[in-house]
């Protein structure tokens, strides 16, 4: 028996997400843990993890030449982005592949933050919960919706 969460399917089974168009995407941290930033009176103060996610979204047009990121915002426990697919003839840049690459890049880089360095520093108290989940693959969950 697996312990995977049962997720509601938000993508249409009949829609071709490789078609050109604008797509609204939301990526959510596991258990909605606020690891990307801290709310302040003037906005969100990004953590190291939040800066990694921010950088990952900035790199999307370099990785996918026919995709543009129209806008995105990193919140403490999730990210919203509007991505625009410009061409239909590129099989390497459908919405799932763009989101998957962004999640994978960010998750791997964030997981490196959790690895203890060789610097001499005390371990955190055992009562303190770790910042990241046990598995980097469990960091982000995503939903995708076609923008109306």
Sequence ranges of the domains in the chain: 21-114+134-146
pLDDT for position 120? 41
Q: Answer yes or no: are the C-beta atoms of 93 and 64 closer than 8 Å.
A: yes
Q: Does residue 124 register a pLDDT over 60?
A: no
Q: Does residue 136 register a pLDDT over 50?
A: no
What top-level class would CATH report for the domain 21-114+134-146? alpha beta
CA distance 109 to 5: 24
pLDDT for position 128? 40
**What's the whole-model pTM score?**
0.71
Cβ neighbours of residue 9 closer than 8 Å, sequence gap 6 or more = none
pLDDT in tens, 29-48: 999 999 999 999 999 999 99
> What mean pLDDT is predicted for residues 65-83?
95
What share of the chain has pLDDT > 90, as a percent?
51
């Amino acid at each position: 028996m697996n312990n995977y969460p049962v997720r509601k399917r938000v993508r249409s089974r009949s829609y071709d997400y490789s078609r050109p168009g604008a797509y609204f995407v939301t990526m959510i941290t596991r258990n909605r843990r606020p690891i990307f930033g801290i709310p302040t009176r003037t906005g969100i103060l990004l953590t190291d993890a939040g800066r990694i996610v921010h950088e990952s979204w900035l790199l999307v047009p370099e990785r996918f030449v026919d995709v543009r990121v129209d806008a995105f915002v990193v919140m403490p426990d999730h990210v919203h982005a509007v991505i625009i697919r410009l061409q239909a003839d590129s099989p390497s840049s459908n919405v799932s592949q763009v989101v998957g690459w962004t999640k994978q890049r960010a998750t791997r880089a964030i997981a490196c933050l959790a690895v203890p360095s060789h610097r001499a520093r005390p371990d955190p108290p055992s009562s303190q919960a770790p910042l990241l989940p046990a598995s980097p693959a469990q960091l982000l969950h995503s939903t995708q919706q076609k923008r109306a």
